[in-house]
A = this chain, B = another copy of it.
């Protein structure tokens, strides 16, 4: 009789991974009781609970994820969906670390779900939802009318977007205030006497493209400056393209004396283009740029910089998804971070 219970498990020597059955055997309790004791269920006696938890800690019991997942459907996985070609480099590492920081003391794992240029961005999201591979999803490159957000909302899977949507639907997001960034950049350039400004936009189609353009245009209305159209360029073009087009622009008769750039990599290309045209940064033209890691001031100290913290984005997005999973109202999980001041080189 007794041997029945033990015939597999009490091979303690073999050092197999402990399961609820192991704990049940060690404590002399039933598997069910052990399970409930570990999750502080109300109908378990205080002493039993403590005893079970003590033993569990001692032998290093860890719930088997496959068991939980199979039984409950809970995956304990957050998926970060990334475009393998167009994502900003520092974005990837910073956001991963930000998310990691938040989920570090939770049972969650982070899985990265990539998709490539050729794919519909909806594909990876569909895959995740259809296969039930994650409890929560984080997406970037958010669009005003974003099919992915709509889809996940329909399917009822918790998610958070990096960037806002504009569909009249409520969901968690984290965003940088790109309207304020662009407006502040324009004001700063006007303040140092620049009058003809060009904007290097975010990728057309993404929500923050609109925000940025609006901030730029609105602020131009407030100050004594005008726009030099530079519509052929956006930050997800190649360095070479941006550089060439900038050089072309700067060789025209009517050329900008100020740039507002939405990303550090593009800024490198713009400066190169400016210099290709024989002009000098800080003298002939000023550039205000966003950056997410401290490198632009090493590049050219004349650059004017606004910092965007992607690691913060990671933590906020992770918090938002976990919050939604935990039952919080999606509408209460929306954050927009204001840009800091435009900073010039500090000695």
Residue of B nearest to A69 (CB): B66
Q: With CB as the reference atom, state the residue of chain B lying closest to A73.
A: B66
Give Cα distance in the complex from A96 to B83, angstroms.
11
Nearest B residue (CB) for A67: B70
CB-based contact B112/A84 at 8 Å: no
Contact of A92 among B93, B109, B265 (CB under 8 A): B93
A124-160: contact bitstring with B at CB < 8 Å (1 yes, 0 no)? 0000001111000000000000000000000000000
Minimum CB–CB distance from A221 to chain B (whole Å) comes to: 34
The proximity string for A residues 258-296 relative to B, scoring 1 for CB distances below 8 Å and 0 otherwise, is: 000000010011011000000000000000000001110
Of residues A89, A90, A100, A101, which shows the largest number of chain B Cβ atoms within 10 Å of its Cβ? A89
Q: Is A104 an interface residue (CB 8 A)?
A: yes
A110 touches B112 (CB 8 A): yes
Residues of B within 8 A of A65 (CB): 69, 131, 133
Complex CA distance for A65 and B17, rounded to whole angstroms? 20
B contact residues around A90 at 8 Å (CB): 89, 93
Residues of A within 8 A of B (CB): 17, 60, 62, 64-67, 69-70, 75, 77, 82, 84, 87, 89-94, 96-97, 100-101, 104, 109-114, 130-133, 239, 243, 265, 268-269, 271-272, 293-295, 298-299
CB of A293 within 8 A of CB of B17, answer no
Contact in complex: A114, B97 (CB < 8 Å): yes
A292 nearest CB neighbor, chain B only: B89
Contacts of A133 in B (CB 8 A): 65, 109
Q: Do residues A299 and B62 form an inter-chain contact, with CB atoms below 8 A? A: no
Given contacts A96-B92, A109-B111, contact A239 B298 (CB under 8 A): yes
For A60, the closest partner residue in chain B by CB is B130
Q: Inside 8 A of A93's CB, which chain B residues have their CB?
A: 87, 89-93
Show 14 A/B contacts (Cβ-Cβ < 8 Å), sorted by A: A17-B130, A62-B130, A66-B69, A66-B70, A67-B70, A77-B111, A91-B93, A92-B93, A93-B93, A96-B112, A239-B298, A265-B295, A271-B298, A298-B299
Contact (Cβ within 8 A) B111 A97: no
A-B contact sample (12 more), CB < 8 A, given A66-B69, A104-B114 = A17-B131, A60-B130, A64-B70, A65-B69, A70-B70, A92-B96, A96-B96, A96-B112, A100-B112, A110-B111, A298-B299, A299-B299
Docked CA distance A269–B114 (Å): 33
The distance in angstroms between the C-alpha atoms of A60 and B96, with both chains bound, is 31
Q: For the complex, give the distance between the alpha carbons of A278 and B337 in Å.
A: 39
Contacts A89-B293, A111-B110 given; does A298 touch B67 at CB 8 Å: no
A110 to B111, CA, bound (A): 6
A84–B75 Cα distance when bound, in Å, is 24
Q: How far is the CA of A82 from the CA of B104 in the complex (A)?
A: 13
* Nearest CB in chain B: distance from A31 CB, A: 16
> Interface centre among A67, A93, A104, A295, by most B CB within 10 Å?
A93
Return A15 CB to nearest CB of chain B, in Å.
10
Give CA–CA (A265, B295) in the complex, Å.
Answer: 8
Residue pair A269, B298 in contact (C-beta under 8 Å): yes
Q: Which residues does chain B contribute within 8 Å of A271, judged by CB atoms?
A: 298
Cα–Cα, bound, A297→B313 (Å): 30
A269 and B268 CA atoms in complex are apart in Å by 16
